[in-house]
Chains A and B, each alone.
Chain A
Amino acid sequence: MSIIVNVDVMLAKRKMTSGELAEKVGITQANLSILKTGKAKAVRFSTLDALCKALDCQPGDILEYRE
């Protein structure tokens, strides 16, 4: 898929662990791992909203389109 999820990059920038983010967003670590590895088929707006809130960033910082 050409959509890249840059949660790892944002986690590093914010110096936050996956566990902390999962807890703040309200998803399991397994689901966060699916998101990070690009295996997710879709992202709910509510999840994206929570991710942006937890990482204090814009959706564009998390999602990227690469050809």
Chain B
Amino acid sequence: METKGHKGLLGVTIFASFLCIASIVWILVQSYYVCTESGEGCIVWHEKIYVMQMSIFIGRLLFKNAFYALIVVFLIKQYKAVKNGVLFPRVNIGIMYTIAACYLIGNFCHMNFETLVIPATEGTANLVISTDILIYTMLLLVFASVYKIAVKVSEENNLTI
């Protein structure tokens, strides 16, 4: 039963890690393409909103990649901990909070990427944020808080003789 659970967790870890790494590669390639090439779908820099464009571009590149990378780190640490008999490793609490922050900033930048970095009309900067992103971020924060409680309970349980 335990081995089956471990195998399932390993399978999920490998599959999710593969997806995350593929997403990182995709974002890197896309960012390189929209920066170096010209034409449809590529960056049109405008002086008036240059700082904002650059912030959105770098924010998306950094935080989306950090989001995926942290998920991989979280899954690997979780798998290793479970393998060593620890159900909720303390190190994952910080990672979960960071994932939530990266998700919020990364997706905010991603949402505004096409409208701001590749604007149809010159120099218009209307930043938008969807309620979905805020709700998912709140959900991630709730999970992180529950995880934090679980870590505490698990540690107390280990100190019950």
Residues of A within 8 A of B (CB): 27, 31-32, 34-35, 39-44, 47
Does B159 lie at the interface of the complex (its beta carbon under 8 Å from any beta carbon of A)? yes
- Closest A residue to B158 using CB positions: A41
Residues of B within 8 A of A (CB): 156, 159-161
Q: Give the distance in Å from the alpha carbon of A47 to the alpha carbon of B159 in the complex.
A: 13
Which of B156, B159, B160, B161 neighbours the largest number of chain A CB atoms within 10 Å of its CB?
B161
**A44 contacts which chain B residues (CB < 8 A)?**
160-161
Q: Give the distance in Å from the alpha carbon of A7 to the alpha carbon of B159 in the complex.
A: 17
Interchain CB contact (< 8 A) of B156 among A27, A42, A47: A42
**A39 contacts which chain B residues (CB < 8 A)?**
159
**B161 contacts which chain A residues (CB < 8 A)?**
27, 31-32, 34-35, 40, 42-44, 47
**B160 contacts which chain A residues (CB < 8 A)?**
40-44
Q: Give the distance in Å from the alpha carbon of A56 to the alpha carbon of B161 in the complex.
A: 19
Could you jot down 19 A-B contacts, CB within 8 Å?
Answer: A27-B161, A31-B161, A32-B161, A34-B159, A34-B161, A35-B161, A39-B159, A40-B160, A40-B161, A41-B156, A41-B159, A41-B160, A42-B156, A42-B159, A42-B160, A42-B161, A43-B161, A44-B160, A47-B161
**A35 contacts which chain B residues (CB < 8 A)?**
161
Q: A41-B159, A47-B161 are in contact. List 7 more A-B contacts (CB 8 A).
A: A32-B161, A34-B159, A34-B161, A42-B156, A42-B159, A43-B161, A44-B161
- Closest B residue to A42 using CB positions: B160
CB distance from A53 to the nearest CB of B (A): 15
**A34 contacts which chain B residues (CB < 8 A)?**
159, 161
CB distance from A23 to the nearest CB of B (A): 15
Q: Give the distance in Å from the alpha carbon of A41 to the alpha carbon of B157 in the complex.
A: 8
